[in-house]
């Protein structure tokens, strides 16, 4: 099998979204990309096969495709969300893994067509600003290429608002559900998990009639920068021995 190390990463990431309760039944998928490909032939993407249970999935079940969707290796049908993943990899060259789930609270915000405001420092530690919501797909976009255009509306949102996909590592697709990403499949899963937790906290904050304006911008900015900024102080500094 090609790309055995990436296969293990993507398999584990798919099993993790089930283990963490982010994907009931087979309601979710994870992919990973090798940007160099084989002998510099171009990027290759590994993705979950459509409808296969996480518990019984094996490395050989994963489907390997080019960035244009041509199957390189695999006998099963790839995830029905493949074209969304591929478009995100093309538009966001910084990322190395993509996760799509229908996790309960994040999907609730998506179905309500509402972004998730930054209500507190937990949110600010991981997302630089609100978790945005896309515009709904038009009837023409759905008819033309629904899955591909799901990626298109995400990419258009980030382009129009000049958002950094590494600073805002997830999005809500209006009427649908969340997508998240990261530099690796594992970090993409972490962001999907954090997005669900943030969505749950925000839902309860709204129920408790929290301030509509959310957290003061200067507090949120301080928290984000202390963890991700050029002078970040969070965590341990690794020094050479």
For each of the domains in the chain, give its residue range(s) and CATH number, in order of start: 4-228 (3.40.225.10)
Locate 173 and state its tokens. 């697709």
**Given this model, what pLDDT does residue 217 score?**
82
CB atoms within 10 A of CB 83: 19
Residue 240 has pLDDT above 70, yes or no: no
For residue 241, what pLDDT band results from cuts at 50, 70 and 90?
A: low
In this structure, is the dihedral angle defined by the CA atoms of residues 115, 121, 124 and 129, taken in order, positive or negative?
positive
What is residue 239's predicted lDDT score, i.e. its pLDDT?
60
> pLDDT category, 218, cuts 50, 70, 90?
confident
Q: Which of 34, 61, 125, 203 is catalytic?
A: 125
pLDDT of residue 225: 82
Higher pLDDT, 211 or 35: 35
Q: What is the pTM of this model?
A: 0.92
Active site residue 68: no
pLDDT per residue as tens digits for the range 92-151: 999 999 999 999 999 999 999 999 999 999 999 999 999 999 999 999 999 999 999 999
Q: Is 209 designated active site?
A: no
Which residue in 68, 146, 164, 234 is the catalytic one?
Answer: 234
164 pLDDT above the threshold of 60 = yes
Residue 39: predicted pLDDT: 80
Angle subtended by helix axes 104-111 and 185-207, to nearest 10 = 70
Rg of the chain's alpha carbons, rounded to an integer? 18
Over pLDDT 90: what percentage of the chain?
83
pLDDT for res 37 = 86
């Amino acid at each position: 099998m090609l790309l055995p190390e990436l296969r293990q990463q993507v398999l584990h990431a798919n099993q993790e979204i089930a283990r963490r309760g982010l994907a009931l039944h087979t309601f979710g998928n994870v992919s990973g990309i090798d940007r160099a490909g084989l002998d510099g032939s171009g990027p290759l993407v590994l993705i979950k096969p459509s409808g296969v249970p996480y518990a019984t999935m094996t490395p050989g079940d994963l489907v390997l495709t080019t960035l244009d969707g041509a199957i390189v290796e695999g006998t099963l049908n790839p995830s029905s969300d493949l074209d969304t993943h591929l478009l995100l990899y093309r538009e966001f060259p910084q990322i190395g893994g993509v996760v799509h789930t229908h996790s309960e609270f994040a999907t609730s915000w998506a179905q309500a067509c509402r972004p998730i405001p930054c209500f507190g420092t937990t949110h600010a530690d991981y997302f630089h600003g609100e978790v945005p919501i896309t515009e709904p797909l038009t009837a023409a976009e759905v008819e033309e290429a629904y899955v591909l255009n799901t990626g298109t509306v995400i990419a258009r949102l980030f382009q129009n608002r000049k958002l950094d996909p590494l600073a805002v590592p997830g999005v809500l697709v209006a009427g649908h559900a969340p997508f998240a990403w990261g530099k690796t499949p594992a970090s993409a899963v972490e962001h999907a998990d954090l997005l669900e937790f943030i969505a749950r906290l925000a839902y309860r904050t709204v129920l408790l009639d929290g301030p509509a304006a959310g957290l003061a911008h200067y507090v949120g900015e301080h928290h984000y920068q202390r963890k991700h900024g050029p002078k970040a102080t969070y965590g341990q500094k690794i020094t050479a021995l």
